[in-house]
Structure 1
Amino acid sequence: MTGYKQKYSVPNLLDLVAEGEGLRIEFKRLIHSAPKIARSITAFANTSGGVILIGVDDDRRIVGIHSEKETLEVIDEAMRFHIEPKPRIGVSFAEFRCRMVLFVDIPQSPERPHFHVERLIRRDSDKRGVERRVFIREGSHNKAASEECIELMLSSREPVRVSFTNRERRLLDWLNRHDRITAEEFADNACIPMKEARRILVSLVRSGALRLDTVSGRSSYSLAFH
């Protein structure tokens, strides 16, 4: 497991439980499935980071985990076989009224995107396939990332390069008069391929000129300051 030590106390636990699930907090009563916990870990690493509390029910009741060893084994399996590349995580425990809660702390990763990897058996044959998907946090849920969101993560590894040509100026002028635009709309308006439209929009997001919003896997762009 690629990890580090992260200390949480009972007051930390109670504060997080009181805050409730959201962009950076998730509750799990227990975990049995390595692919499912891997999905949450990748979503936090790909977004703003966060913490998973295992042993806390959805209604905020602290129920505790049954087995520290089995829970850690599931997390280890998730990290080894269901996430590429592996993010750094921190794991620690806190005991409240004889009930043990496990914390999985996931920082926002500089190596985004992290792929959720699931090995599947195809229904029409005995052949095994591999499904690689990127998840992000959207409110209190894990959602599949849009292509633009994935491209933004990949481009963040490179220096920002933006050219303000007439095409970019016309786009910004259009957004001054409209609320938002999708990559498809921009490609149609500018008569350019979709790949080029996405590249320009992502560059403008990285420069701070535009904001990328993703709802239910669909991305749109608006002026960062309007």
Structure 2
Amino acid sequence: MLEKLIAAGEGPTIEFKSTVDSALKIAKTLSAFANTKGGTLLVGVSDSGKISGIQSELQEMQKIEQAASFYCEPVVELSYQVFEAAGRQVLAVYINESEQKPHIVRNGGEKTVYVRAKDKSVPAGQEMTKVLQNGSSTPVNNVSASRNIKTLLTFLQKHESVTIKKYAKMINVSEGRAASILKELVWQGILLIHDKQTPVTYSLK
């Protein structure tokens, strides 16, 4: 199982860490997994996928528990598994998609919501936070037959993100219509909106 996880590489549901050097930093990853589709954190694996191993299972778990309970609000639920490989230990931390979204990361007086986008944990803007609070409204199957949406999904499988202007040109509609389609897909849980930047972009969840 460990080999399969490593072979899959880092992505929306997998992240590698050689060690947990900061509870605050790892809180961003844990909360992002919980706010999106869940995921697995492998501690003792380098970014390149090489097994480096951990020195102390207990020390790593203590920092992770601090991240999940002290920095995350509400607390992120975790489960653990230890793998032995090449005489070294790798700690797997499993995070399910939460039913208590959004999980907020507290850093002093600052509170930030994170989501997964590709292999990164990124801050969610106001629109994405609203989606997490309210949940998805429409089953994915209801929109999957649309030609315009199929065009979008095909594009996003090859590219990291799309802007409203780019999508409008792709399907030959007004930017207002393109924006409506993209926002609807965010509410349906298909896309993530990155509205803390200009221009606003959308990516696959």
The reply to whether TM is greater than 0.5 is: yes
Q: 1:146 corresponds to which residue?
A: 125
TM (norm. structure 1) is 0.65
CA shift at 1:36, angstroms? 0.8
Residues 99 and 207 from structure 1, CA distance in 2 versus in 1: closer, same or farther, beyond 3 angstroms? closer
What letter corresponds to residue 178 of structure 1 in structure 2? Answer: V
**Is 2:30 the counterpart of 1:38?**
no
Aligned residues: 169
Instruction: Select which of 48, 62, 67 maps to 1:78.
Output: 67
CA shift at 1:182, angstroms? 9.4
CA shift at 1:32, angstroms? 2.1
Q: 1:19 corresponds to which residue?
A: 8
Q: 2:82 corresponds to which residue?
A: 93
CA shift at 1:139, angstroms? 0.5
Q: 2:173 corresponds to which residue?
A: 178
Instruction: Select which of 23, 26, 40 maps to 1:51.
Output: 40
Instruction: Select which of 88, 96, 101 maps to 1:107.
Output: 96
The 8 Å contact of residues 182 and 220 in structure 1, kept in 2 or not, is answered as no
Question: How far, CA to CA, are the matches of 2:10 and 2:48 in structure 1?
Answer: 10
| Structure 1 unaligned regions, length at least 5 | 1-11, 120-129, 161-174, 187-200, 222-226
Secondary structure at 1:80 match in 2: helix
TM (norm. structure 2) is 0.72
What letter corresponds to residue 115 of structure 2 in structure 1? Answer: I
Runs of 4+ that moved beyond 2 A: 175-183, 204-208, 210-221
Residues 180 and 84 from structure 1, CA distance in 2 versus in 1: closer, same or farther, beyond 3 angstroms? farther
Per-residue CA deviation, residues 133-164 of structure 1 (Å, 9 max, x unaligned), is 0011110111111211100111129x78xxxx
Residues 74 and 211 from structure 1, CA distance in 2 versus in 1: closer, same or farther, beyond 3 angstroms? closer
CA shift at 1:220, angstroms? 5.6
Identity rate, percent: 32
Instruction: Select which of 126, 135, 141 maps to 2:114.
Output: 135
Residues 79 and 177 from structure 1, CA distance in 2 versus in 1: closer, same or farther, beyond 3 angstroms? same
What letter corresponds to residue 148 of structure 1 in structure 2? Answer: E
**Is 2:51 the counterpart of 1:62?**
yes
Secondary structure at 1:69 match in 2: helix
Alpha carbon RMSD of aligned pairs, Å? 3.0
Secondary structure at 1:214 match in 2: strand
CA shift at 1:216, angstroms? 7.4
